Amino acid sequence: MSGTVATLKDIYSSFSDDLGKEIGMLWDKYDNLRAPWIAEKLELRDFIFQTDTTATVVDDLGWKNNTTVPKICQIRDNLHSNYISSLFPNDNWIQWEGKNLEDEVYAKKNAIQSYMRTKVHQSNTRDVMSTLLYDYIDYGNCFGASHYVSEGSFDPITGREIGGYTGPKGVRISPLDIVFNPTAPEFKSTPKIVRKIMSLGEIVALAEKEDIWESALNMVNSMRKQIGEYRTTDFNKAMGYQVDGFGDLREYFGSEYVEVLTFEGDYLDRASMKLHKDQQIIVIDRCRTVVQRVIPSPLGKARISHAGWRKRTDNLYAMGPLD
C-alpha cells in the first residue's frame, strides 16, 4: 500500500543523514564497477574447490562423466607453499637493517630484533600472512591493515588481571569487503570503504569502550523496532538497495546483524565545497553516520595496504597467477 510505503520511507529518513547515504551510495557505485571482476573471481573459486564438474560452469556442457582432477587447486597449494617458505624460511626471519653505523650497533640491533620477533610471534603474524597469501593467489590482490589490541582478561574469582598480548596486530581484509576507485594513480591516494557485518553483541561491546557507539546502538535498536512489522514488498518499494549476504531488507533489519561501512580518505562536502582530508567516516545501515573524524592513526593516514600479483596499467585491481 502506498501509505505503508510512505510511512516506511519517513521512518528510514528520520534515521538517515546525507553523509551516511552518500557513503552508502559510493559503496554501491564502486561495488557495481567491480561486478565483472567479482564474477570472474567467484568462477575461479568454484574451479579451485570443485569436487566434480557439476559444481562449475562446465556442468551445462552435458558430459556424462563428472570426474575432475583439481589441477588448479594443486597449483594454488604449490604457490602458497613456495611463497610461505620464501617469506618465513625460519623463526628468525625478521631482520633489522640500520641506515648508518650507529643503528647497526650490536646491542641496539639485537634489542630491536628480539622485541619485534616476540611481537610478531605473539600476534600470530605468520598465520595472518598465510591467509593474505591465499588472497594474493586466488584474487591477485590482498589487503591488510593493523590495529592496536589489548587481549588481557580478568580472573572472575580473584578479580586480578591476566596479562595477554598488547600491541599492534595484523588484520586481513577480504577483497570482497573493500571497494575503492580502481582508476586512481595509486592505492594509498584513493578513498577506501571497508564493509563489515557486526552482531548486535559486538556493537554493545564497542559501546562499552567508545561513546560514539552507544548512540549508534540506540539508533539500531530503535530503527529495527519501528520497521520490523513491514512486509518484504514494502521494503523493496521504499528502499532500492539490498544488503549483501541477506535475502532482502526485511531479513536484514529482522536479523541480529548490522552492516558497518568505514570510509577512509579525503572527502568533499558538496554543500560547502570544503575538502576534508584524511577522514574516517563510519556508517551503519548505509544511511546513518556514527562518526566523522580524522583517521585515528599515528601517521594520520589510512592504515590499509594493498599488494597485487601482476599490476595493470590504469587499473589498481591486479591480475592473479591463476587467471
pLDDT digits (tens, 9 = 90+) for 262-275: 999 998 888 788 88
Containing domain of residue 193, as a range?
2-34+176-309
pLDDT of residue 36: 92
The reply to whether 40 falls in a domain is no
Please compute the mean of the pLDDT values over residues 158-187 and round it to a whole number.
88
Contact 292, 223 (CB under 8 A): no
Taking the alpha carbons of 295, 199, 147, 144 in that order, is the dihedral positive or negative? negative
pLDDT of residue 79: 96
Instruction: Determine phi and psi for 184, rounding to 5 degrees.
Output: -65, 155
The reply to whether 256 falls in a domain is yes
The reply to whether 277 falls in a domain is yes
Count of C-beta atoms within a 10 Å radius of residue 138:
20
The reply to whether 242 falls in a domain is yes
* pTM over 0.85, yes/no: no
Mean residue pLDDT of the chain comes to 83
Residue 287 has pLDDT above 90, yes or no: no
The domain tally of the chain equals 1
The reply to whether 213 falls in a domain is yes
228 DSSP assignment: T
The reply to whether 297 falls in a domain is yes
> Which residues are within 8 A (CB) of 56 and not within 5 positions of it... i.e. 6 or more apart?
43, 46, 47, 50
* pLDDT-above-70 percentage for the chain: 83
The reply to whether 64 falls in a domain is no
The reply to whether 282 falls in a domain is yes
pLDDT (tens digit per residue) in 203-255: 898 888 888 888 888 888 877 776 655 554 544 444 545 566 655 566 666 67
What is d(CA 19, CA 288) in angstroms, rounded to the nearest whole number?
A: 8
What is d(CA 306, CA 107) in angstroms, rounded to the nearest whole number?
A: 34
Please compute the mean of the pLDDT values over residues 62-86 and round it to a whole number.
86
- The candidate with the shortest Cα–Cα distance to 280, out of 297, 260, 294, 298, is 294
pLDDT of residue 307: 95
Please compute the mean of the pLDDT values over residues 112-135 and round it to a whole number.
92
pLDDT (tens digit per residue) in 192-202: 999 998 888 99
